[in-house]
Amino acid sequence: MPYLHQYDYIFALGLIFAFLDSWNIGANDVANSFATSVSSRSLTMKQAMVIASLCEFGGAVLVGARVADTIRSKIIAVERFNDQPEILMLGMLCALVGSSTYLTIATRIGLPVSTTHCIVGGVIGVGIATIGADGVNWGWKGVSQVFAAWVVAPGIAGVLAAILFLITKHGIMKRANPLRNGLIAIPCYFALTSGVLTMMVVWKGAPALKVDRLSTGEVVGIILGVAFGIATLCILFLLPYLYRRLKLEDWTLHWYHALLGPMLLFRGPVPERPSEYTHQVVQDYYRGHMTKQQLAAAGISNTEADNFERERTAEGSVPTEKDEHHHPPKGAVTSNSGSNVDVESTMVTSTGTRPWYTPKNLWTKANYYFFRGVNHDPASEQSTAKSNPYLTGNLKDMHARTEHYDNKTEYLYSFLQVMTAMTASFAHGSNDVSNAMGPLATIYLIWSTDTLASKAPVPVWVLVFGGSAIVIGLWTYGYHIMRNLGNRLTLHSPSRGFSMELGAALTVVMATRLALPISTTQCIVGATVGVGLCTGDIKAINWRMVAWIYLGWFITLPCTGLIAGCLMGLIINAPRWGS
């Protein structure tokens, strides 16, 4: 039962702007978890959206409460508002307005920013406008801890990702028989990744599972049990499937044959492939990306190669995964450019000249507006350099500096990359739901009880509300930011993407354990740069794009602080009618 009915409008506006903030988190930060998987072609856009939806929502609801409490109560001294808690309600609303406004602009112009910066800047601006700079907790347990995480997180993620990739590169990819080494190592990688995900759930103390009361021995037992269990399942079911598919090149296998497990080893010899069967065992993960030797052999300069690649992609001559499987999904856009023009043209063709209110046209338009983001192909759009040429630079020259590895071995890491993407997405949901839901939880607490209790639990419906908004933003506009990451930073492949995502996920797991609201954007960018440096050529990284992203992080805090602080100052100091 609400206590402060006179401020119902603040609670209502808080719901609206918290939804907008969470929508932008999904639309902007989705690239942190899945841009690498889509860029390396380990996942299609639709597959990435389905997996991300489940993991983002699960992370937000299961393990998002502790970080939300950090954002709400550790930035400003809430006890200063004990006499007028309704002022803190208004302040949190202004913080949400400032954060969501800036995020909307940044998302629209394609600038990947830190959503953590946004809400923290908004809360700081409100604190300065109401109780002055001395009311903001600048100490290590407040803002300084967040600042330190922003500096340290990219470095840690870069180091962890580089270590993982160097082990993969020299232990597997550059060996005489990389496929054999990869088949031997893949159970270990699955054990490591599943252990990280289990570690997050158990350490974080998911409220719904009530595992925070377990002893240290029980926690260790659960983590090791899950890790070894997943590794055992991998050995029994996945390895026989991969051996027969990759080593024996069994063209008759389908994905569901993996359920047969060890029986696949007794399947018999592989039948002769029909001449009309053109399907490849694995796709070419480096298609559209030439090496230096290929550029030199073709006698094409770097500039000419860029123009040539753009023309090929625009004409639809660059093969896609859909082309290789010869069965594009119904209603999918087959043009590789993935531009809005192609999607809109499809809608116009479908609707024809019939009135807009006919059932078929209404269904077509609803499908277009709700699923238009899924019909884009960020991997192709990254390769066409369809953005500011100064930021993208010479992509063909940058990609040519990266070594290509065996495609069959890369295919092994596509499975691992899906798992690391799920881990990173789960971690992203657990951390970033707090950015919008922490202020909303404060508004709801004061509105319903007229009290301030910094240690009060965050309601489950608040986490569900935030997780749902993140998923909606991800589906409708997540592709826009995906285009600016991935291959526009450095060339991606499944083995590289796996190292990037797991390195970033490990960093986020550490932060979640410490209740430290770090930026997942910085983690994945730091991991990408770390893996890119492992090529031994600094020109294999697009430093212009890295600098552009860092510039966005630098201006985020003052921009959101100014918007929220000015709005709060205007409201509380505005003249009153009749006073």
What are the tens digits of pLDDT across the range 371-413? Answer: 777 777 776 666 664 566 677 777 788 888 888 999 999 999 9
- The packing angle between helices 85-108 and 8-39, to 10°, is 30
In this predicted structure, the answer to whether residue 501 has a pLDDT above a threshold of 60 is yes
What are the tens digits of pLDDT across the range 47-62? Answer: 888 888 888 888 777 7
Per the DSSP assignment, residues forming a β-bridge with 136 are: 76
Q: Which residues touch 51 (CB under 8 Å, ≥6 apart)?
A: 34, 43, 418, 421, 422, 425
- Report the pLDDT value the prediction gives residue 159, as an integer from 0 to 100: 93
- DSSP H or E segment with residue 421: helix 407-449
What are the tens digits of pLDDT across the range 267-297? Answer: 888 888 887 777 788 888 888 777 777 777 7
Phi/psi at 141 (5° precision): -85, 10
What is the average pLDDT across 237-264? 90
Integer-rounded Cα radius of gyration of the chain: 25
- Report the pLDDT value the prediction gives residue 551, as an integer from 0 to 100: 85
What are the tens digits of pLDDT across the range 509-551? Answer: 777 677 666 777 788 889 999 999 998 888 889 888 888 888 8
Per the DSSP assignment, residues forming a β-bridge with 301 are: none
Among 83-97, 286-300, 324-338, which stretch is predicted with the lowest mean pLDDT? 324-338
In this predicted structure, the answer to whether residue 346 has a pLDDT above a threshold of 60 is no
In this predicted structure, the answer to whether residue 179 has a pLDDT above a threshold of 80 is yes
> Do residues 231 and 93 make contact, with C-beta atoms less than 8 angstroms apart?
no
The gap from C-alpha 305 to its chain's centroid, in whole angstroms, comes to: 31
Count CA atoms within 13 Å of residue 416 on its CB side.
Answer: 34
> Do residues 106 and 28 make contact, with C-beta atoms less than 8 angstroms apart?
yes
- Give the integer Cα–Cα distance in Å for 518 and 75: 14
> Do residues 304 and 310 make contact, with C-beta atoms less than 8 angstroms apart?
no
What confidence category does residue 67 fall into, taking pLDDT thresholds of 50, 70 and 90?
A: low
In this predicted structure, the answer to whether residue 347 has a pLDDT above a threshold of 60 is no
In this predicted structure, the answer to whether residue 337 has a pLDDT above a threshold of 60 is no
Phi/psi at 478 (5° precision): -65, -30
> Do residues 375 and 343 make contact, with C-beta atoms less than 8 angstroms apart?
yes
Quickly count helices (H) and strands (E) in the chain: 23, 0
- Residues in the chain, overall count: 579
> Do residues 16 and 431 make contact, with C-beta atoms less than 8 angstroms apart?
no
- Reference 496, options 420, 389, 440, 385; nearest CA is 420
What is the average pLDDT across 323-330? 40
Tokens for 46, please give them. 């639709």
- Report the pLDDT value the prediction gives residue 531, as an integer from 0 to 100: 93
What is the average pLDDT across 332-356? 49
What confidence category does residue 322 fall into, taking pLDDT thresholds of 50, 70 and 90?
A: very low
What is the average pLDDT value for the chain, to the nearest integer?
Answer: 79
- CA angle at 434 for the pair 433 and 435, rounded to the nearest 5°: 90
Tell me the CA distances in angstroms from 323 to 320, 329, 335, one per residue in order: 5, 11, 11
More confidently predicted of 512 and 76: 76
Tell me the CA distances in angstroms from 468 to 14, 58, 208, 347, one per residue in order: 16, 10, 17, 27
In this predicted structure, the answer to whether residue 324 has a pLDDT above a threshold of 80 is no
pLDDT above 90: percentage of residues in the chain: 22
